[in-house]
């Protein structure tokens, strides 16, 4: 019956509280508390379950941590003799709260205390008790909290295990309020600011959101207006500027970086004609819109068809017994690469040679390595497709100078390449 009464009181108390979830801005301070408790005793104690009352003082260190000192009394009865037993208890508890930004704050609690039981014959039990439990607080207003908790109590001396339910009220005496913050400096505190990232200097309304001003009355807000002094009544573009388009490309003269484009030609945001394949011919005149990068084109943007003979010759000489490409020839090899990029249909055969010093088989391998080395430079350094380049070695078979002289042998230690093609010349 007592438990039902306690539960009814709890239900009525919680139903009277506000359902708002916005917490007060109190951070810390002292509070007084009053508690109505109901104790459930270990069956070995031979005590009836009974209510108790307690008062205490506490301190909120923050909205998360609190500590409190509680003193209480109970009027108990023994189960068998119905003898009255007086209870006096005190405890020191620490509370840890969850959901600190809400009016509803669940918490866990733990503490240590002293419990004294005395019958009419002055028989007395003194014991140290440890308690742990959980609860819930609700902020009724800026000065009052209601609270409920359930906890277990363990007697270190009697080795008994009791339980208690508490329903109470906290009265706040002192507080330390947080300083209001205005992070974006718009004059509206963060707690009320509906636009918390407003740019510095922007005029805002009472909710902290930008006011859309239009000083020159052109229909374009000042924060978007690139021409803030437009004459009243004049038609403007989306940047707030008087719209004039002398070349008819749809771009305002004030923004047009190419003011003589052909009327109707597709242009970019700067008013310049587009050239999607970057061949130098604008898209409106380009009949071959997918020309490979770097290829030579005619006035229609199409690749030149070669009919006239054109050629490129490469000759690289090597030190004796070496297949390393001398650095002074890299510029010449780059010219070959550039020629092949200009004429994408061309291929090349790299020929390697040696002088007559040494064995025929060794000279054959050396000439092949020399040709391969030049090929590797074209592929790896100058990014020419590998499939367009072949290499072959001729050993000492094709001398171009007398191998009996030093100067002749230097000329014979060589790599050569000839690229030939034809192109059509427009009349």
Structure tokens at 69: 């000192």
CA nearest neighbour of 109 among 118, 96, 90: 96
User: What CA–CA distance (Å, rounded) separates 147 from 137?
Assistant: 4
Structure confidence at residue 282 (pLDDT): 72
In this prediction, residues 210-237 reach a mean pLDDT of 67
C-alpha span between 226 and 244 (Å, rounded): 15
Beta bridge partners of 50: 39
Average pLDDT, the chain: 81
Per-residue pLDDT tens digits for 49-81: 999 999 999 999 999 999 999 999 999 888 877
CA angle, corner 110, sides to 144 and 35, nearest 5?
A: 35
How deeply is 360 buried, as exposed, middle or buried, from its count of CB atoms within 10 A (0-12, 13-18, 19+)?
Answer: exposed
Reading the block at residue 22, the tokens are: 């916005």
Judged against a pLDDT cut of 70, whether residue 219 lies above it is answered with: no
pLDDT in tens, 310-352: 667 888 888 988 889 899 989 888 988 888 888 888 888 888 8
Distances from the Cα of 283 to the Cαs of 251, 264, 271, 297, 299, in angstroms? 18, 11, 14, 13, 12
Whether the pLDDT of residue 152 is over 90: the answer is yes
Q: Kind and range of the H or E element at 309?
A: strand 306-317
State the pLDDT at residue 54. 96
Q: Report the pLDDT value the prediction gives residue 242, as an integer from 0 to 100.
A: 63
Q: Are 96 and 64 in contact (CB under 8 A)?
A: yes
134 DSSP β-pair partners = 108, 150
Beta-carbon count within 10 A of 423 CB:
16
Q: Which domains does the chain have, with CATH numbers?
A: 18-177 (2.40.160.20), 254-302 (no CATH), 306-423 (3.30.1330.60)
CA distances from 87 to 72, 123, 233, 314, 421 (A): 8, 12, 89, 112, 114
pTM for the model stands at: 0.42
Q: Number of helices (H) and strands (E) in the chain: give both, helices first.
A: 4, 13
Residues 6+ apart with CB under 8 A from 127: 114, 115, 116, 155, 156, 157, 158
Contact 140, 123 (CB under 8 A): no
Token digits of residue 274: 């587009």
pLDDT bucket at 1, cuts 50 / 70 / 90: very low
Which positions ≥6 away from 85 have C-beta within 8 Å? 47, 76, 77, 78, 117, 118, 119
Query: Which tens digits make up the pLDDT trace of 2-39?
Result: 445 455 555 545 554 444 455 677 888 999 999 999 99
Strand partners, 96: 65, 108
Average of per-residue pLDDT across 143-169: 93
Give the single-character DSSP code of 101: T
Q: For residue 304, which of 280, 336, 275, 272 has the smallest C-alpha distance?
A: 280
Per residue in 94-123, is it b (16+ CB within 10 Å) or e — as a string? Answer: ebebebeebbbbebebebebebebeeeeee
């Amino acid at each position: 019956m007592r438990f039902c009464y306690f539960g009814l009181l709890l239900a009525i108390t919680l139903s009277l509280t506000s359902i708002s979830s916005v917490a007060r801005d109190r951070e810390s301070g002292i509070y007084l508390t009053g508690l109505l408790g109901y104790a459930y005793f270990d069956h070995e104690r031979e005590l009836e379950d009974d209510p108790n009352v307690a008062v205490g003082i506490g301190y909120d260190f923050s909205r998360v941590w609190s500590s409190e000192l509680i003193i209480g009394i109970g009027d108990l009865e023994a189960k068998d003799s119905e003898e009255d037993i007086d209870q006096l208890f005190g405890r020191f508890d620490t509370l840890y709260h969850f959901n600190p930004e809400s009016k509803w704050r669940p918490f866990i609690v733990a503490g240590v205390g002293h419990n004294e039981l005395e019958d009419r014959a002055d028989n007395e039990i003194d014991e140290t008790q440890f308690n742990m439990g959980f609860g819930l607080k609700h902020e009724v207003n800026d000065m009052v909290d209601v609270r409920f908790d359930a906890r277990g109590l363990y007697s270190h001396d009697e080795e008994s295990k009791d339980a208690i339910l508490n329903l109470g009220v906290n009265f706040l005496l002192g507080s330390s309020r947080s300083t209001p913050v205005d992070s974006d400096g718009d004059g509206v505190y963060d707690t009320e600011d509906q636009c918390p990232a407003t740019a510095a200097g922007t005029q805002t309304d009472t909710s902290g959101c930008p006011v859309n001003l239009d000083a020159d009355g052109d229909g374009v807000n000042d924060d978007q207006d690139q021409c803030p002094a437009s004459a009243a009544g004049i038609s403007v573009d989306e940047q707030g500027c008087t719209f004039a388009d002398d070349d008819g490309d749809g771009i305002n003269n004030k923004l047009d970086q190419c003011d003589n484009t052909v009327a109707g030609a597709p242009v970019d945001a700067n008013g310049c004609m587009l050239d999607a394949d970057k061949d130098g011919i604008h898209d409106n005149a380009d009949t071959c819109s997918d020309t490979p990068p770097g290829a030579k084109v005619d006035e229609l943007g199409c690749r030149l068809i070669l009919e006239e003979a054109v050629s490129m010759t490469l000759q690289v000489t090597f030190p004796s017994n070496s297949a390393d490409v001398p650095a002074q020839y890299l510029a010449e090899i780059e010219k070959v690469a550039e020629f092949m990029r200009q004429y994408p249909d061309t291929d090349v055969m790299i020929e390697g040679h040696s002088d007559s010093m040494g064995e025929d088989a060794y000279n054959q391998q050396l000439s092949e390595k020399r040709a391969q080395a030049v090929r590797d430079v074209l592929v790896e350094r100058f990014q020419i497709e590998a499939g367009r380049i072949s290499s072959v070695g001729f050993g000492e078979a094709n001398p171009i100078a007398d191998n009996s002289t030093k100067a002749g042998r230097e000329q014979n230690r060589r790599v050569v390449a000839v690229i030939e093609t034809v192109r059509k010349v427009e009349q």
